[in-house]
Chains A and B, each alone.
Chain A
Amino acid sequence: NAGVMQNPRHLVRRRGQEARLRCSPMKGHSHVYWYRQLPEEGLKFMVYLQKENIIDESGMPKERFSAEFPKEGPSILRIQQVVRGDSAAYFCASSLRGGDLTEAFFGQGTRLTVV
């Protein structure tokens, strides 16, 4: 039973390029969450999605960032026109349920470096 799978593990982009981060949740999980860990900072919530729906995007930067979780396939976090400040580790988590029974399981993360 594979865990949460993220790819790529490491991604290097030049300023102005687009970054696409993928996350496949654990089997049977329909709730996906994205978090960002900036250097020397803690983990910060970005967005919570269920299949085809964005439930809570209160942590997403207003511009350049978007996320989706289509009916088929992985969840995608997309960062357009990347800047050096986007360099961070991006973690995806999934859960079987929402609400008070929610236990989140995290992937290994994608480490984005913007040069």
Chain B
Amino acid sequence: KQEVTQIPAALSVPEGENLVLNCSFTDSAIYNLQWFRQDPGKGLTSLLLIQSSQREQTSGRLNASLDKSSGRSTLYIAASQPGDSATYLCAVRPIGGTSYGKLTFGQGTILTVHP
């Protein structure tokens, strides 16, 4: 059974810092890994999608890496801003049959960036 763990559970940093969020998964048989952002009381916004054959993806100040063999992904946020405050979720999509429809999520990292 796939399990996804995110560390740390919560992170508070001053504006301008570079930071790293960690995600680990127990089963490396995945199609891809997706990072999301969730604001309080809102839906999920897709940030980055990394296919299993890729090592990293970049979008603006965000960079996500994937090491499938070790079951790890990191989300790097450069020059953090108060508007980055949200819960960041990591999710993996398994290989096999029709289970590719089933994203398995981590518990999330609650990020607070204070001015």
Q: Which residues on A are within 8 Å of B, measured CB to CB?
A: 4, 6, 31, 33, 35, 42-45, 48, 55-56, 58-59, 91, 93, 98-109, 111
Contacts and interface: CB of A to CB of B under 8 A. Distances in A.
B105 A42 contact: yes
Say which size band chain B's interface belongs to.
Answer: 20 to 34
Given A56-B102, A99-B31, A105 B108 contact: no
A91 B107 contact: no
B102 A100 contact: no
A105 B36 CA distance: 10
A75 B49 CA distance: 25
A91 B98 contact: no
8 contacts: A4-B43, A43-B89, A45-B104, A99-B100, A100-B95, A102-B32, A102-B100, A106-B45
Interface string B69-107: 000000000000000000001010101001111111111
A102 B31 contact: yes
Contacts of B104: 45
A100 B106 contact: no
- Of A35, A100, A108, chain B has the most CB atoms within 10 Å of the CB of A100
A100 B34 contact: no
B100 A98 contact: yes
Contact of B31 (A56, A93, A100): A100
B100 A106 contact: no
B63 interface: no
A101 to B, nearest CB: 8
A55 B98 contact: yes
B105 A55 contact: no
Given A100-B52, A109-B43, A48 B106 contact: no
B51 interface: yes
Contact of B101 (A4, A31, A43, A101): A31
A99 B95 CA distance: 8
B23 to A, nearest CB: 12
Nearest to B44: A106
B32 A48 contact: no
Contacts of B108: 42
Contacts of B41: 111
